[in-house]
Structure 1
Amino acid sequence: MKIILITMYIHLVTTTTDGSGNEQKLRICMISDFFYPGFGGVESHIYCISTGLIKRGHKVIVITTSYDDRKGVRYLTNGIKVYYIPVFKINTSAGSATLPFIFTSLPLLRNILIRERIEIVHGHQCTSNVCNEGLLHARTMGLKCFFTDHSLFGFGDEGGVHINKVSRFVLSEVDHVICVSHTLKENLTLRASLNPFKTTVIPHAVDTNVFKPLRTHPPRRDERLKIVSTSRLVYRKGADLLISIIPVICTKYPHVDFIIAGDGPNLIEMTEMIERYELFDRVELLGAKPYHEIPSVLQRGHLFLNTSLTEAFCMAILEAASCGLFAVSTNVGGVREVLPDNDMVLLANPDPLSLCEAMEKAIECHVYNTDPIQTHERVCEMYNWDKVVACTEALYVESMHTCKERGLLETITSYNSVGFFHGKIIGLLTTLDYLFYQALEYMYPREEIDVCPEFGPFYLKDVND
């Protein structure tokens, strides 16, 4: 008989070895503004990568910003220890933004990294101030630094110019950079003037045990067809395109309904469109849904629609395909790398006419021939978090043995490539950060900082009696 036992134990087991063949356990810190209880592609990526590394015997903690009253240290059910550090945030229409504090975050981050005996700091998303500051301080402390980027940015707009300058500063001294698609690798290599040989493409994956179909057969011709869209109603996600094509599809296909899960500034325009065309019983607005409810939303549909104007790697269509849905998406960024075109997804130009044509082709030629179970099994073969974790772990181990530490003078000299004036400013900031760190080492020696005991995660084990 199988008995489920909840056990907590102290373990030092790992799947990697050091140079002498002894087992090696890595202590890793994931750092980003984006983590639970927020939801999105970055949050799920950090969660799944951390879970996989813990299962492989490594120690993983997460440092993120506070969410409302969620501050301090929390433990997730899979054993991840999360530090919610208190920072000042500004609420915007696209979400909350963290102000850069640069040096003032060093004492707290230094204390955490020393207490947890961290060896590798892995930052996520170039728009995260906590990530950028964490990598700066980690380099000052002599730790190995990794970075994973999740978004594409331009070269000519004001926001892109500033982000590109920050990326060149932050990424110039990291040990390795991970991109989630080849399109993003090209984009980031150009934006941040990176050496392409220290950049690796490791795509996202999907938890196929959570995102799985409920239907076992294609939809019947006599049942109503449900089209699902799960994205924020903002310009960047193509909310204007979505609003413009819904009336066209509803007029041509009376048996088609829409399910919209998302919230944002364009919700008012969406509501006005529904009222103007009297589509109250054809368009269902669910509002913003927590990430754990997204599978149940996708499982209600037959066809998935993505109208994003920019995507580095579209997790939404991958999750939809895992739930057995055929997908229609704009052909932007790294979307073409996710699923085979004209097979599991139809790609269209980001304009209303092309999207309507793709939707018509999907409804008439693909949806009624798509087997949900077969589609789910194909996604299981193509994407697996274990493979992603194994590739990431291999980069960690390689960096521990090959990447050499660089002195302060050598680091400052390397910043000249960032720009004549910008490089001098960055060199000054790095020098001040180093001096501040040495002052903290003198005033608060690391020998006086208590080290956290390394408890293993909570696991559910099946034991045969």
Structure 2
Amino acid sequence: MYRICMASDFFHPNIGGVESHIYQLSQRFLRKGHKVIVITHAYDDRVGIRYMTSGLKVYYLPFLVIYNQCTLPTLFTSFPIVRYILIREQINIVHGHSAFSALAHEVMFHAKTLGLKTVFTDHSLFGFADASAIITNKLLKVMLSVCNRVICVSHTGKENTALRAGVDPNRIFVIPHPVDTDVFRPLSTANQIDKSDKLTIVILSRLVYRKGIDLLAGVIPQICRQYPSIKFLIGGEGPKRIVLEEMIERHSLQNRITLVGHVNPDKVRDVMVQGDIFLNCSLTEAFCIAIIEAAACGLQVVSTKVGGVPEVLPEELIWFAEPSVEGVYDGIVRAINDRIQGKIIAPQKSHEMVKSFYQWDDILERITFVYESVESDPIETIDERIQKFWNFDVATGMFFLFITVVCHFLFKLFSYFVPESEIELVPEFDYNELRKTNNNNDDNHNDNKCQ
């Protein structure tokens, strides 16, 4: 049995592909009898320990959020609480998610100080030229130098990570995001296609620049002028919401566009099935789980052809567009015309195709294989980690050497004043046993009703 700690700044109640993946992956491991906890930062009044479905324990730590749900890097000041949690929960594998997440990198760094194995999943693509990409790539290169294994969600993502982080490709595994096709299913099982032009286009995304919200604000007025009966349903929150609100006011589209706002993960399917076409305008994307969920719900998918998106769905299920206002407009027009002419796949057949492509059992088996490969790795000593950091340039090497030494000093200090033997261990939680108990209680309740 693995005792896994998922670590990331991005988790529920925030919405997005990373958040959904961490939640679903944790649920699947719990059902297999493994122990899983999640470490993330506090969201508003959601601070401390919370429990989710299947007994998933989430630690919402009171760290300062500075931008776009990313916490302020605290270097070694987060070590005491992370050490306490990892020891108390008897964690043996720390799995960090997202290169944007400072918290994920910190938890993995502290895990190496404690002698634990680490795995990192990179969900995004980065450039090489702008200042933010240079800084992030340098940080990622250092952090992944002491990480046991790396998972990328597409082959494009693997190439990108290997180049910008200098990771040996043999340590990188390509494992796509799966989708729960039992949840994401068409509204009706009828194999009929609505060929009218009274359509609803759905957008579910974080409203940020990287998701192409500026493109969306440019293309919606053109589509509304061309097709008077088309409506838009937009879900999600973010700093670019104001751009959409201004566009709605400027073009008087209040009766054509609905801004749903924040959508809970369990309500995503309910929003999707209200539409006929799903639109993704991302400017960069390693892997877009939302378009898989939309295809599983039987929607036509129109997406910008960027990053790893071409690897996600076959051509008969997706209409590609160039990442420009004109390109997205042309993609939507082609999708609408093909729909009117009946040149699209029926919703139920689309669902069955996605179901055959992305199975949770297969993805879970592949991630478990990654964990198994980590077990045979020797535990790195502080000397080995210092030697790796020393191989970088002088400034980077000295900076991380300093952090490593300070963390090791804190490790020795807390081991003396708060030894592991004095930390109360958390009792084991058996999800399968709880499920059996609940099923027995339900059966007894039904028997009593029958009597």
1:272, 1:102 → 2: CA distance?
40
Query: Could you list the runs of 4 or more consecutive aligned residues of structure 1 that deviate by over 4 angstroms after TM superposition?
Result: 460-465
Please tell me the residue identity of whatever aligns with 2:170.
F
Please tell me whether residue 370 in structure 1 is matched to residue 345 in structure 2: yes
User: Which residue does 2:265 correspond to in 1?
Assistant: 291
Please tell me whether residue 243 in structure 1 is matched to residue 217 in structure 2: yes
Determine if contact 2:4/2:95 at 8 Å carries over to the other structure. Answer: yes
- Selected match of 1:45 from 21, 24, 30: 21
Map 1:93-112; keep pairs closer than 5 Å. 95-112=68-85
User: Which residue does 2:194 correspond to in 1?
Assistant: 220
Structure 1 residues 59 and 244: alpha-carbon distance in aligned structure 2, compared to 1, 3 A threshold: same
Deviation larger for 281-290 or 41-50? 281-290
User: Which residue does 1:69 correspond to in 2?
Assistant: 45
Structure 1 residues 275 and 27: alpha-carbon distance in aligned structure 2, compared to 1, 3 A threshold: closer
With the length of structure 2 as denominator, give the TM-score of the two structures. Answer: 0.92
- Selected match of 1:60 from 20, 25, 36: 36
User: Which residue does 1:451 correspond to in 2?
Assistant: 425
Query: Which SS does the other structure have where 2:187 is aligned?
Result: coil
Determine if contact 1:49/1:388 at 8 Å carries over to the other structure. Answer: no
Please tell me whether residue 432 in structure 1 is matched to residue 410 in structure 2: no
1:27, 1:290 → 2: CA distance?
27
User: Which residue does 2:237 correspond to in 1?
Assistant: 263
2:81, 2:51 → 1: CA distance?
19
**Cα offset for 1:223?**
6.1
User: Which residue does 1:197 correspond to in 2?
Assistant: 170
User: Which residue does 2:354 correspond to in 1?
Assistant: 379
1:118, 1:263 → 2: CA distance?
34
Structure 1 residue runs without a partner (length 5+):
1-24
Please tell me the residue identity of whatever aligns with 1:323.
C
Map 1:82-231; keep pairs closer than 5 Å. 82-90=58-66, 92=67, 95-215=68-188, 216-222=190-196, 224-231=198-205
Please tell me whether residue 352 in structure 1 is matched to residue 352 in structure 2: no
- Selected match of 1:392 from 350, 363, 367: 367
Structure 1 residues 275 and 89: alpha-carbon distance in aligned structure 2, compared to 1, 3 A threshold: closer
The percent of aligned pairs where both chains have the same amino acid is 45
User: Which residue does 1:35 correspond to in 2?
Assistant: 11
Please tell me the residue identity of whatever aligns with 1:336.
P
**Cα offset for 1:109?**
1.1
1:59, 1:118 → 2: CA distance?
9
1:383, 1:123 → 2: CA distance?
22
Determine if contact 1:218/1:370 at 8 Å carries over to the other structure. Answer: no
Please tell me whether residue 78 in structure 1 is matched to residue 54 in structure 2: yes
**Cα offset for 1:398?**
2.1
Determine if contact 1:121/1:135 at 8 Å carries over to the other structure. Answer: yes
Determine if contact 1:331/1:348 at 8 Å carries over to the other structure. Answer: yes
**Cα offset for 1:414?**
1.5
Determine if contact 1:242/1:307 at 8 Å carries over to the other structure. Answer: yes
How many pairs align?
Answer: 436
Structure 1 residues 347 and 395: alpha-carbon distance in aligned structure 2, compared to 1, 3 A threshold: same
- The alignment yields a C-alpha RMSD, in angstroms, of 1.8
Structure 1 residues 395 and 226: alpha-carbon distance in aligned structure 2, compared to 1, 3 A threshold: same
**Cα offset for 1:36?**
1.6
Deviation larger for 217-226 or 323-332? 217-226
Determine if contact 1:31/1:64 at 8 Å carries over to the other structure. Answer: yes
Determine if contact 1:168/1:418 at 8 Å carries over to the other structure. Answer: no
Deviation larger for 266-275 or 386-395? 266-275
User: Which residue does 2:298 correspond to in 1?
Assistant: 324
**Cα offset for 1:392?**
0.8
Structure 2 residue runs without a partner (length 5+):
none
